Structure 1
Amino acid sequence: MEMHALIKRHAAAGWRHRWKALALAWLVCTLGWTAVQLMPNRYQAQARIYADPDALLGTVLRGIAIDPTPAGQVEMLQRTLLSRPNVERIIARTGLDLRAATPDAQEGMVLRLMTDIRLTPSTRNLFTIEYRDTDPQMAKDVVQAVLTLFAEAATGTDRRQMENARSFVARQIASYEQQLREAERRRADFQARYADLLALDGNVPRLDAIRSRLQQLRGELEDAITRRDLLKQQIAEAPAVARRGGISAQAADAERRLRELRLRYTDQHPDVIAARNQLAAARAAPRPADTGAAPARPSQEQQQHALQLVDAEAAVASLERQVRDGELELERLTDMARNAPGVQAEFLALDRDYTVMRRNYEELLARRESIQIGEAARTSAERAKVEIIDPPTVPTLPVAPKRGLMAAAVLVVGLAAGVGLAVLLVQLDGAFYTPGELRRIGLPVLGVVSDARPKRHAADTAAFASGVALLLLACGGVIGGSGLMARFIA
C-alpha cells in the first residue's frame, strides 16, 4: 500500500508540472532541429582502382630479390600515399589552400586531410579511395588528385626503392668492411700476444706428460749420480791397491771382476757378494817376496774408470739441466693453466663479435647481388599495373549529415529532457497530495474533498496530449522535409 501511495503521489506531482516539462521538450527539440537544418551538407566522392601486386613485383624475383612479398609494396603505397608532402601536393593541386588564410589554418587542413582521405582495400587487388567535403566538385577533385598520386607512386616507387636500397647497402658494406678489418687486426694481435695460452687451451694431458717426464728425469738423475759416486769410489780405491805392489794375478782378476759387477748390481747382489769373497781369499793367499817398490802410476783400468767418470759427470750435468728446464716449463704451464680460462673467454668473445660481423657482411654482399638481380628484372618488364575501375564523379546527393536520424535523436533528447525536468520538480515539490502525508506530520484530517471539475480535467489532459502529438508531428515534418530537400537537390 505504501508503494502504491508513493507512485500515486509522484504521478500527481508530475502531472502538476506537465506543462513545464512539455515546454522544455519543445525548446530542446526546436533548437536541435534548427541546428540540424543549419548543418552543411557533405558530399562524398570515391573511386575504385585495381593494383596488381604480381605485376608490381613479379613472381620470378621471389626468394632471390629483396621484395619477396608482392602485397608489401601496395601496402607500403597505402601507408606513404597520405604522407605530409603528398597531402600538401593534393592541397596545392585542388586549390584547397585558398580556404586557409593563415599558417595555423593550413596546418589544420593538412592534418584533417590525412585523416579524412580514406584508402580502403576491398580485396587483395581492389582499393577504394573516399573523401567527403561540403563542395561536391572539391570532393571529386581531391579523389582525382589522390588517384594521380597513386599512379605516379606506383610507377616511380620501384626505381626509388632500388636506388635507396642500393645506396644504403653500399654504405653498410663500406662500414662493415672497415669494422671487419679492425676486428681482424684485434683478433690477430690477441692471438699473437697469447699464443701459448691459446695453444694450451686447458690441455691437462700436456701438463700430465710434462710431470711424468720430469719425474722420469729425476729418476735418471739419481741413477747417474749413484753411478758417478761409485766410479769415484772405484778410482779412489784403485791407486791404493797399485801402491801395495805385488798382488797376485788371481787377486787382480777378482778385484776387476768385483768392480764390473758393482757397476751393474748393488752390494747386496749375490754375484757381488761372491766376488767380494773371492777377492778376500785371493788377497789372503801367500805372495812371493817383494823385489822392490814399484813407482805408482795409473793402470789401464784406472784410465778407463777416469773416462767413464767424465761421461758420468757430463750425464749428471745434462740431467740436472733437463730437470731444471722441466721444472721451469712445468711452473710456466701451471701459471698459464690458471690464466688460460680468462684469456680463452676473452678470445671467445672477440671471436664471436668477429663471426657475427663477418656473417652480417656476407649477408650484405648477398643482398647487393639480390638488388642487382631485381634491378635488372625491373628494367626489362612492366613493373606497375594500376587500373581505374570507377573514376571519381561529382556527387549529387549528400551523404552527411543524416538529418532524419539526427532529428529523431533530437526528439528523444527533448523528451528525455522534459521527463527529467518533471522528475526534478517532483523531488523539489513540497505540496501535499494525499491525506496520509498530512497525517504523517501530525495534523488531524477531518475529510477529503474530491475535484468537482471533471470536464476541465479532461480538457487539460486533451491539451497536453495535443502538445505531445504536435511535437511528434513536428519531428515527422522535419524528417520528411529533409528527404524532400535531398530529392529536390538531386
Structure 2
Amino acid sequence: MSHYVGRGTVLELGLEMWSRRRWLVLVVFAMTLASAVGIATSLPNIYRSTATVLVERHQVPEAFVRSSVTGELETRLQTISQGIMSRGKLDDLITRLGLYPDLRDRVPAEAVVEQMRRDIKLELREVAQQMTGRSATVSFNLSYRGRDPETVAKVANTLATLYVEENSKVREQQASQAAQFLRIQLAEAKNRVDAQEAGVRDFRARHTGELPQQMGVNLATLERLQAQLHLNSANQLRARDQRMRQQAESYPEVVRVKAEIAALERELAGAKPDGNSAADAAALDEPDAEIKALKAEEQRLRRDINAYQRRVESSPQREQEFQELSRGFVTAKETYDSLLKRYEDAQLSENLEQSRQGEQFRILDSAIPAKQPLAPNRIRLILVGVLLSMGTAAAAMVVAERLDTSFHTFDELRSFARVPVLASIPHVASAAETARLARRRWLATVSIALGLALVVLAAHHVAHENEQLVRILSRGVS
C-alpha cells in the first residue's frame, strides 16, 4: 500500500522503491535502451551532395545590346524550379536514374515524386550591391539527399544541368516571343501607316487646289484673275465707245455727205472707186466681234474667279480635315518608328540569347559523393534513447508502486490499520520453496534475454532500410 505522506525525503522514498523494484527498473531500462540502440544502429545512412551554380551576367554590355528578357532573377529561378519540380520531370528522372526502388513498390507515384521534392533543396547566395543597396543573387546551391552517395551526387549534377539548360531555354523563349510579338505589332502598325498615307493621298487627290499648302497660289491666281477681269471690263468699255463712234458716223445724212465729198475728191483726182465702202463695213463689224470675245472672256474669268473663291473659302475646312488626317498619319508613323526600333532591339536580344551571350547559369562546383552521412546522428539518437530509457524505467517503477497493495513496513501498516503492531514474523522459506524461487529466477533471466533479443530484432526490422524513419528522426537537420 503506497501511503508515503510524511515519511522521509524524496531521495529516501526513491531508494526504498529502487530496493524493491530494481529488477523491474533494470529490465525496462534494458528493453527500452536495447530498442533505441537497435534502431539507431540499424537505420540506413542518408547522404547529401551539393552542386554550386554561378550566375554569369551579360557578356555584352547592356549599353550596346539591351536584353528583352525582363524580370528578377529570383522570379525566373522560381519559374524554372516549378518546371523542374513538376511531376513529369521528376517522374522521368526517377525512372531514368532508378531512384527510390523500395518506395516505388509500396506507395503511389505521386508520393514518390513528393518525397523527391522534399529531398531537393535550393539555396540562394546573395550579396548586397554598393550602388543600390539591394541584394543580388550571384549563385545558388542545389542539394539532394539519398541512400547511395554516388547516385546522390549524380542526381545533384543532373539537377544543376537541368537548371542551366532550362534557364537558357526560358531566356531564348522569352526573347523569341518578344521579337514575335513586336513583329506582329510592327506589321499592324505598318498597315495603319499605309492606310493613313492612302487616306492622305486620296484627300489630296479629291481636294486638289483646296489644300492649305495651295492657299497662297489660290490667292495669287484669284488676284491675277480679278486684274484680268478689270482689264476685260476696260476693254469692253473701249470697244463699246468705238462702236458708238462708228455707229454715229454711219447715220444716213453723214454717210450721204461723206459719199458726196468722196465723189468730188475722186472727180478731182480722176480716180476710180477703191472699195473703201467694203472696208468701212468691215470696220463697223470689228467692234461687235471684239465685244463678243471680251464678253466670253469675262464669263470665263468670272467662272474661274468663282472657282478660286470657293477654294479659298473651303480652305479652312480642308485645312482642319487635313490636319486631322495628318495628325493620325504622324501618330501612326511615330508608333511605327518606335515599334521598328524596339523590334530591331528585340532581334539583337534574340541573337544575343541564341549565341549564349546573355545572362547564363554555369556549374561552378559539381557535386561529389559525400564521405560522411548527413543522417542519422547515431550518437544523438543513443543519448536520446538513454534519457528515454531512464524516464520509462522511472515511470514503470512508480506505476508498479501505485499498483502494489501490500505492506512493506510497520509504518505503512500502522497508518492503514490504526491498531498497535505487536510483533513481526519473518518469512522462513523451505528447501522446496527455495528451489522453486531459483527456477523462477532462471526462467526470468531466460525470458529477459529472449525479450531483449526480440526487442533488438524488432528494432532492426523496423529501422533497417527505413529511409522514412531516418527523415522523421532527422527532421530539422539541414
- The alignment's TM-score, normalised by the length of structure 1, stands at 0.46
Which gives a bigger RCO, structure 1 or 2 (Cα 8 Å, sep 6+)? 2
